[in-house]
């Protein structure tokens, strides 16, 4: 078995059979977070569309980087 597959197999087996109480708690929290993300995806974007981020949203989130990006796109 290649080293990459061997390390992935070891990682998965450690996740499936955690040996300490702390690692069990970490796995439980990660599974709960994964379930929450999947549920959010199903309820928020159930029709398959992704909301459009307009120019105002990009400017608010990215600041000057969005303006520079818009200018470089228009100049091309």
Q: Does the pLDDT of residue 35 top 90, yes or no? A: yes
CA-based torsion, 51, 31, 23, 15: positive or negative: negative
The C-alpha atoms of residue 55 and residue 61 are separated, in whole angstroms, by 10
Q: pTM of the entire structure?
A: 0.47
For range 48-65, the mean pLDDT: 74
Give Rg (Cα) of the chain: 21
Each domain of the chain, given as residue ranges in start order, spans 1-48
Range with lowest mean pLDDT among 7-21, 27-41, 60-74: 60-74
């Amino acid at each position: 078995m290649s080293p990459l597959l061997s390390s992935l197999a070891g990682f998965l087996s450690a996740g499936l059979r955690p040996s300490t109480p702390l690692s069990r708690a970490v796995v439980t929290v990660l599974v709960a977070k994964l379930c929450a993300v999947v549920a959010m995806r199903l309820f928020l974007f159930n029709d398959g569309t992704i909301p459009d981020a307009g120019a105002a949203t990009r400017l608010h989130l990215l600041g000057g980087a969005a303006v520079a990006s818009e200018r470089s796109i228009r100049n091309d």
